[in-house]
């Protein structure tokens, strides 16, 4: 659903311009039943070339390692067996979404379906295909993580593969494309002025920074959600929701409510990336002491109370 929101140009126009031919997708393709099985068999026989195998959703290995919680309709074969077979024929293998990449929401809690990512189990390398897996091009699985993913993350990754521009340097330690993972959600956040002065929101709907009290992880989350707005205009933080770091492995089980910031002695446990705790405490104290009244009042309000002061020139 997220991918269908691709714009400027739309998804199918993007594929056409990049020379990408969609062999099959469960929601976008006309083929069903035996027609799908014929496509898969053609790939396995070497009659049809599989340049990129994309998986959405985690691999379900249960019950008891049989994979029969997730069967491919019209066959007596679990989906995990098809994935294993097709991955051996693929020039590139791509996990689309945090579930496919790391296990994600599907692997949370008791994980009764024995869900797992393609080449990671949470933060641990391995996953369903194993750490030694390499596609025919010699690369590990590319993890376009996110819950959901931004459509541009998918289209730009596929275009780079189509142009044969992918390299090991193009992904980070978790296999995420660096074109978005080298950014932080914090970059470009509309609440950054409040963050700078530690003018914090206290309740849902408040305009202030949500890091101190509302559980926002935008200063740690590797994604460009605010510098590359969703649908051209929005993001979680812009809509008033705390960033839950959905591009990270194991984001689904933070150990506390998504909307609460755990603290020790009044200091948030999750500090901005690359910032030592002592620096944060010192800067936070100075920032709060210097907070303009405008920001202090606006931070805990649902609407703008005090606009910026208009400064007139003195003749």
CB 223 within 8 A of CB 235: no
What's the mean pLDDT in 92-119? Answer: 97
My answer on whether 73 and 53 are in the same domain is yes
Residue 310, in any domain of the structure? no
Residue 259, in any domain of the structure? yes
Last residue of a domain, one of 181, 201, 220: 181
The C-alpha atoms of residue 311 and residue 229 are separated, in whole angstroms, by: 32
CB 213 within 8 A of CB 266: no
Q: What is the CATH number of the domain that holds 199?
A: 4.10.480.10
What pLDDT is stored for residue 288 in this prediction? 81
My answer on whether 134 and 276 are in the same domain is no
What pLDDT is stored for residue 266 in this prediction? 75
CB 213 within 8 A of CB 241: no
Residue 315, in any domain of the structure? no
pLDDT above 80 (res 124): yes
Confidence (pTM): 0.90
My answer on whether 24 and 48 are in the same domain is yes
My answer on whether 54 and 198 are in the same domain is no
Last residue of a domain, one of 160, 181, 202: 181
Parallel/antiparallel/unpaired status of strands 120-121 and 115-116: unpaired
My answer on whether 137 and 169 are in the same domain is yes
The C-alpha atoms of residue 13 and residue 103 are separated, in whole angstroms, by: 31
What's the mean pLDDT in 280-287? Answer: 76
* Residue 44 lies in domain: 3-181
pLDDT above 70 (res 315): no
Last residue of a domain, one of 146, 181, 216: 181
My answer on whether 157 and 255 are in the same domain is no
Residue 305, in any domain of the structure? no
What's the mean pLDDT in 231-245? Answer: 93
My answer on whether 210 and 162 are in the same domain is no
Whether residue 9 has a cis bond before it, omega within 30° of 0: yes
Residue 311, in any domain of the structure? no
Residue 54, in any domain of the structure? yes
């Amino acid at each position: 659903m997220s991918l269908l929101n691709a714009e400027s140009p739309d998804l199918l126009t993007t594929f056409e311009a990049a020379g990408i031919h969609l062999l099959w997708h469960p929601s976008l393709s006309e083929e069903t039943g035996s027609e799908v099985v014929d496509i898969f068999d053609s790939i396995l026989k070497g009659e049809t070339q599989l340049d990129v195998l994309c998986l959405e959703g985690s691999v379900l290995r249960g019950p008891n390692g049989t994979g029969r919680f997730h069967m491919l309709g019209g066959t007596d074969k679990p989906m995990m067996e098809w994935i294993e077979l097709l991955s051996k024929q693929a020039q590139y293998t791509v996990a689309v979404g945090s579930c496919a990449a790391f296990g994600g929401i599907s692997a949370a809690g008791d994980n009764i379906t024995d869900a797992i990512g393609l080449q990671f189990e949470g933060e641990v390398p391995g996953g369903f295909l194993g750490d030694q897996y390499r596609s025919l091009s010699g690369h590990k699985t590319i993890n376009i993580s996110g819950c959901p993913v931004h459509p541009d993350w998918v289209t730009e990754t596929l275009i780079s593969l189509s142009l044969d521009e992918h390299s090991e340097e193009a992904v980070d330690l978790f296999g995420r494309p660096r074109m978005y993972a080298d950014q932080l959600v914090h970059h470009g956040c509309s609440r950054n002025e409040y963050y700078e002065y530690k003018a914090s929101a206290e309740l849902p709907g408040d305009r202030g920074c949500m890091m101190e009290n509302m559980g926002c992880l935008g200063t740690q989350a590797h994604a460009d959600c605010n510098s590359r707005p969703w649908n051209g205009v929005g993001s979680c933080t812009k809509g008033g929701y705390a960033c839950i770091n959905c591009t990270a492995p194991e984001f689904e089980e933070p150990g506390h409510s998504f909307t609460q910031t755990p603290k020790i002695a009044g200091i948030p446990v999750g500090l901005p990336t690359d910032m030592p705790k002592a620096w944060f405490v010192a800067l936070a104290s100075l920032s709060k002491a210097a907070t303009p009244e405008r920001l202090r009042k606006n931070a805990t309000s649902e609407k703008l109370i005090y606009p910026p002061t208009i400064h007139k020139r003195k003749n």
